[in-house]
């Protein structure tokens, strides 16, 4: 079983909500679960799902069934099949988030990041947007070494939810995004920059032990022993039994001196093994090219009523449509993706009217054709273009080079 949940109560409720002629499948599934026969339970749940695609309990049962899967691969396979059945954007978003969790548990960080990204993009716009999935996608981007993507996603969260009241779940997501931005600053500009970015979080009541430990570490590394001790005091006061407090004491020295840390942190394994994993994934008779940039990931459509397929690596071609002359660029931002070409043309016309240079590119995701609105950008200028884009009321993200 790979995804945590309250099994007995949820299953009993699901049985009560389902048609009488299908309830035996769920009763048998629950019986198998209680007996510890998760594989048999999974089979029974799968039978029920195949026969009850229109049931109001379909989503709940699907997510629960994935928890009983004998392997992560079976869990993700079931979720992939189920997401094609679901029509509601919020329901599909929940399923893709579960797929991200399962992929993480399997150590497949690349696909986990993609599933979380889809979960966010496929969620309803407005107050129900799944920013929790976007936070996780941003964190995994950072672990994979895609620092710019991580920063762009984190900044989007801060911009969208920055006015959320303290104590709310939305504000907790803002804190997570701000911590990630601090980690990016530390990664790119050194520990003092990371400390400066994170220090305002010290007094935030929703800053968890991980936030405070980062402040301890970055302040200590930046030569700010008093600030490191202040953050350590907060760790002791608020999270005295946490592993972070133990690690924090080790960083600054148990006696409060600026002794050398006894705990040494290594980079994320995913950042170390990423190039090796790519090499191992290549056919034996091929050598990965270092001169050719990887093809961009195809993003899911923005149409809430269109089924979404996980991103795949594949060719992307321009169909020749452009709003304004497109300058030469080494990077690009995707501002939208549509099944209906007229929707892409309408967005490009709006953006062109605001002075953006762009074009429409078509790509195939699975068996479906999508039209993507692309805004080329000069390398290093992507963040400025994103800020301008969001200031005009649009969203976008940087495509991998």
Q: 23 vs 66, which has greater pLDDT?
A: 66
Q: Does residue 258 sit within a domain?
A: no
Q: Kindly state the percentage of the chain with pLDDT values over 70.
A: 72
Domain boundary, last residue among 252, 276, 294: 252
Ramachandran region, residue 212 (left: φ > 0; alpha: ψ -120 to 50; beta: rest): alpha
pLDDT band at 291 (very low <50, low <70, confident <90, very high): very low
Verdict on whether the full-model pTM lies above 0.75? no
Whether 264 is covered by a domain: the verdict is: no
Model pLDDT for residues 218-237, shown as the tens digit of each residue: 999 999 999 999 999 999 99
Same domain? 162 vs 129: no
Q: Give the mean model confidence (pLDDT) for residues 372-386.
A: 81
pLDDT score of 241 more than 80: yes
pLDDT band at 323 (very low <50, low <70, confident <90, very high): low
290 in a structural domain: no
Shared domain check, 111 and 21: yes
Q: Residue length, the chain?
A: 401
User: Residue 52 belongs to a domain with what CATH number?
Assistant: 1.25.40.10
- The number of domains in the chain is 3
Report the CATH number that the domain containing residue 333 is assigned in CATH: 3.30.70.1070
Is 270 inside a domain boundary? no
Q: What is the rounded average pLDDT of the residues 324-352?
A: 76
User: Among the ranges 31-35, 81-85, 106-110, 346-350, which has the highest mean pLDDT value?
Assistant: 81-85
Q: Which tens digits make up the pLDDT trace of 342-374? A: 888 888 988 888 888 899 998 776 567 778 889
Q: What is the pLDDT of residue 307?
A: 35
CATH number at residue 239: 1.25.40
pLDDT confidence of residue 309: 35
Give the pLDDT band of residue 172 (cuts 50, 70, 90): very high
* pLDDT score of 286 more than 70: no
Listed residues 252, 269, 284: the one ending a domain? 252
My answer on whether 77 and 175 are in the same domain is no
Looking at 105, 138, 171, the residue that finishes a domain is: 138
Do 96 and 257 contact (CB within 8 A), yes or no? no
Structure tokens at 294: 């990887």
Mean per-residue pLDDT of the chain: 76
With respect to residue 260, please indicate whether it lies within any of the assigned structural domains. Answer: no
* 190-214 pLDDT, tens digit each: 999 999 999 999 999 999 999 999 9
In which domain, by residue range, is 30 found?
7-138
Residues 174 and 64 in one domain: no
């Amino acid at each position: 079983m790979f995804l945590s949940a309250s099994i007995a109560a949820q299953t009993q409720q699901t049985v009560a909500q389902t048609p009488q002629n299908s309830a035996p499948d769920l009763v048998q599934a629950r019986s198998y679960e209680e007996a510890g026969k998760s594989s048999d339970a999974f089979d029974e749940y799968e039978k029920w799902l195949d026969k009850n695609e229109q049931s109001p309990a379909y989503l709940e049962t699907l997510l629960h069934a994935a928890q009983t899967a004998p392997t992560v691969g079976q869990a993700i396979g079931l979720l992939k099949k189920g997401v094609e059945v679901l029509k509601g954007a919020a329901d599909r978003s929940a399923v893709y988030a579960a797929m991200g969790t399962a992929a993480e548990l399997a150590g497949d960080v690349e696909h986990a990041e993609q599933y979380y990204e889809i979960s966010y993009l496929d969620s309803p716009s407005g107050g129900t947007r799944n920013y929790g999935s976007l936070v996780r996608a941003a964190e995994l981007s950072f672990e994979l070494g895609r620092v710019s993507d991580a920063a762009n996603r984190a900044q989007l969260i801060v911009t969208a939810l920055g006015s959320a009241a303290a104590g709310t779940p939305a504000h907790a997501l803002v804190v997570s995004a701000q911590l990630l931005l601090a980690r990016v600053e530390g990664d790119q500009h050194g520990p003092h920059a990371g400390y400066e970015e994170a220090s305002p979080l010290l007094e935030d009541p929703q800053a968890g032990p991980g936030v405070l430990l980062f402040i301890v570490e970055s302040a200590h590394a930046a030569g700010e022993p008093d600030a490191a001790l202040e953050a350590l005091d907060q760790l002791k006061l608020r999270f005295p039994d946490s592993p972070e407090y133990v690690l924090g004491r080790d960083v600054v020295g148990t006696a409060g001196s600026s002794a050398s840390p006894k705990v040494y942190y290594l980079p994320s394994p995913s950042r170390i093994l990423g190039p090796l994993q790519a090499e191992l994934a290549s056919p034996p008779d091929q050598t990965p090219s270092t001169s050719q940039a990887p093809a961009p990931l195809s993003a899911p459509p923005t149409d809430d009523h269109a089924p979404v397929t996980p991103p795949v690596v594949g060719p992307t071609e321009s169909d020749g449509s452009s709003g304004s002359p497109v300058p030469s660029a080494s990077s690009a931002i995707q501002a939208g993706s549509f099944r209906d070409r007229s929707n892409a043309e309408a967005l490009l016309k709006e953006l062109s009217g605001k002075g953006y240079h762009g074009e429409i590119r078509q790509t195939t995701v699975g068996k479906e054709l999508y039209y993507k609105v692309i805004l080329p950008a000069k390398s290093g200028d992507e963040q400025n273009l994103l800020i301008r884009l969001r200031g005009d009321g649009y969203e976008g993200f940087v495509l991998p080079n």
